[in-house]
Structure 1
Amino acid sequence: MSIKGYLKDHGICILIFLIGMGITEGIFLLFNVSITLQIFVLTVLFLGLLAAGIYDYSRKKGFYRELEQKLQQLEEKYLLMEMLEKPEFLEGQIFYNVLSEMQKSMNDEIFVQIRKNNEFKRYIETWVHEVKLPIASIRLILHEYKGTSARILKEQMGRIESYVEQVLYYLRSEVPEKDYRIAPHSLKKLTDQSVSENRDSLILNRIKIIQETQDISVYTDEKWIRFILGQIISNAVKYKKEDSIIRIWSHQDGKHSFLHILDNGMGIVKEDLPRVFEKSFTGKNGRTHQASTGMGLYLCNTLCKRLGHRLAVQSKEGEYTEIIIEFYDNEYLDVLR
């Protein structure tokens, strides 16, 4: 709050005071009051006004300066009231009380919305678990049938199951509770299981798998990492070309283990690479594939961060896409968490 702004805000009061001083001076002249007394009285009145103005300005300036500074410093602006002290002047107290009531009302509304949101998430999670049962039953029945039609149906059921899994893991990625258990697992076994789970889709699309994963032990959650691997393989199938190949291999570098999944599919446009982990980002390739949701790599990256892994992507349009998952050793994970 500047002095200029303060004077402008109190301009009417100052004008009224000056008019009052003018009237006082007129009365002094009317009654032939001595010049000395006139100067003394007017000086006292002026100094009184000046002292009152300085005192009032200093109180208000301190409060509003603190208000502006803390508002700029805070990233969570809604916590402003927790950082402010109640001012002494009346207007500030009214302002403070109004803000307090607004914050209380906002907190109550947020609590209601959080409760509704949690109830909805629980319902969706229950629905996902329920719908997975008939999907599993249908897939078991389809295994009794042979031929191209049965294989197509299996592949489509696999896609449905993958989308249902996306819903489940999206919910889990949005909540702070830890719904995972970090433990040592064989990287080769995990990749073998993921390839097996996507077998029908790989066979139907005539995609060759080159599995060169070493039997490395990595610290991760089995269910979460298998979902991540499934999403990566599903993307490779979705954006395949003729004579497609998916190569999977691993290596270690000190306390870090790396899993590489490379396909010779459509690749990713250079301009899209920085945004592939954004939620709902489909990019150029996604716009040509109507089934693309832009959620697969977003979920993979989000879940990897929750697990303490690092996800990276390298690609060249029309040639290849390589996904790299970096696993840290157990000591690093303990510090990270």
Structure 2
Amino acid sequence: MEKIVDDSLPHNSYYFEAQLIKDVVRFKNDEADKKVNDIKSAFEEMNDYIIKWVHEIKIPISVCELITGKIDDTDVAEQLIVEYTRINFFINQVLYTSRASSYSEDLQINEISIENMIKKVVKRNATLFISRNINLELGNIHYDVLSDEKWLSYILDQLINNACKYVTRGGKINIYAKEDFKSINLYVKDNGIGVQEKDINRIFDRGFTGENGRALSKSTGMGLYLSKKMAHKLNHDIYVKSEEGNGTEFAICFYKLSDYSKVTKM
């Protein structure tokens, strides 16, 4: 910034005015740099606190989960487990949101089994499937892709949790994959309430929930936004198709020829 401004000023040292202006510009640049560094330091401090808080809060939550196993009333225990699962989901969302600002330091690209990843995510969300009597159908998911395990897990968590949230009790979710000449595509499809046509192009916008989302739950509108943002950083893509009343289908596209070496350089 200082260089650009200085280049436009006279370089003759005999011009007192020019030297004075240069000194003022240099002073203001130093002042601006200090403010930026102070803000950056405060942000990093808050980010560090959030990450530590998330890890600390998980301990009492895990204790609460163990206590539910001692409750004699089965219905009450199941309700508590459902709420525990929701709390844990939102806590993880906070953790990954805080990590998103420094994703380049956090990425590890490896070959990942889609089948193993899906099984882990489904297991984490098992309470949602059971409590709402959701039927899960797994198609062919025997593929390996290049991705970051933690972030891909987060994205799948969001898509599956989103599907569970918007299907009616006794509904159905299909998860399957297909391969073509340039990509492997993983689909998460539900037969839920769907998305209104006027909302479909905004579904990945930051903070957007849509009318159907507001009607069913209090959503932050950050899950899908962050999922698409991180998918792009990983050289994946996410698409959505939906029709109100006829369900929603999300697709994660893993490109075979992506240059993953540039992911950590962004």
Does TM, normalized by the shorter one, top 0.5? yes
User: 1:247 offset after TM fit, Å?
Assistant: 0.6
Name which of 196, 213, 228 aligns with 2:155.
228
Deviation at 1:153, TM superposition (A): 1.0
Contact map agreement 1:219 1:330 (CA 8 A) in 2:
no
Cα-to-partner distance string for 1:71-103 (whole Å, 9 max, x where unaligned): xxxxxxxx3x33231325666655554333222
Task: Report whether the alignment pairs 1:130 with 2:56.
Answer: yes
| SS of structure 1 residue aligned to 2:105 | coil
Return the letter of the residue paired with 2:44: N
From the superposition, tell whether residues 200 and 290 of structure 1 become closer, same or farther in structure 2 (CA, over 3 Å): closer
d(CA) in 1 for partners of 2:84, 2:33: 44
CA–CA distance in structure 2, aligned partners of residues 276 and 90 of structure 1:
58
- Range with bigger deviation, 109-118 or 301-310: 301-310
Other structure's SS at 2:141 match: coil
Give the corresponding residue for 2:178: 251
Structure 2: gaps (5+ residues): none
Structure richer in helix, relative to its length: 1
1:149 paired residue among 76, 92, 95 = 76
Equivalent residue, structure 2, for 1:99: 25
3-state DSSP class of the match of 1:271?
Answer: coil
State which of 295, 313, 323 in structure 1 corresponds to 2:240. 313
| Unpaired stretches in structure 1, ≥5 consecutive residues | 1-78
CA–CA separation in structure 2 for the residues paired with 1:205 and 1:246: 12
In 1: Cα distance, 2:236 partner to 2:69 partner? 36
Q: Which residue of 1 aligns with 2:227?
A: 300
Q: Equivalent residue for 2:4?
A: 83
Residue-by-residue CA offset, 1:34-79 (whole Å, 9 max, x unaligned): xxxxxxxxxxxxxxxxxxxxxxxxxxxxxxxxxxxxxxxxxxxxx3
1:164 counterpart residue number: 91
Q: Is the 8 A contact 1:265 1:320 kept in 2?
A: yes
- Distance in 2 (alpha carbons) for counterparts of 1:175 and 1:221: 14
AA in 2 matched with 1:127: W
What letter corresponds to residue 197 of structure 1 in structure 2?
R
Residue 116 of structure 1 is matched in structure 2 by 42
Distance across 2 between alignment mates of 1:206 and 1:147: 16
Q: Deviations over 1:193-214 (max 9, x none)?
A: 1111101111111211111132
Which deviates further from its counterpart, 141-150 or 207-216? 141-150
Query: % of aligned pairs identical?
Result: 32
Structure 1 residues 113 and 326, CA gap change in structure 2 (3 angstroms): same
More moved, 322-331 vs 290-299: 322-331
SS at match of 1:322: strand
TM-score by length of 2: 0.88
d(CA) in 1 for partners of 2:42, 2:262: 35
1:10-21 correspondence runs (5 A): none
Quote the Cα distance in structure 1 between the aligned partners of 2:190 and 2:17. Answer: 67
Give 4+ residue runs of structure 1 displaced > 6 Å after superposition: none
Question: Which structure has the larger Rg over C-alpha atoms?
Answer: 1
CA distance change for structure 1 residues 102 and 241 in 2, over 3 Å: closer, same or farther? Answer: same
CA contact (8 A) 2:182 2:256 kept: yes
1:210 paired residue among 137, 142, 164: 137
Q: Which moved more, 1:222-231 or 1:162-171?
A: 222-231
Q: Structure 2 CA distance, aligned partners of 1:316 and 1:182? A: 35
Structure 1 length-normalised TM: 0.70
Is the CA contact 1:187–1:213 (under 8 Å) kept in the aligned structure 2?
A: no
- Looking at structure 1, the residues matched to 156 and 20 of structure 2 have their Cα atoms a distance apart, in angstroms, of 58
SS in 1 for 2:175: strand
Distance 1:230 1:336 in 2: 22
**What amino acid is aligned across from residue 136 of structure 1 in structure 2?**
S
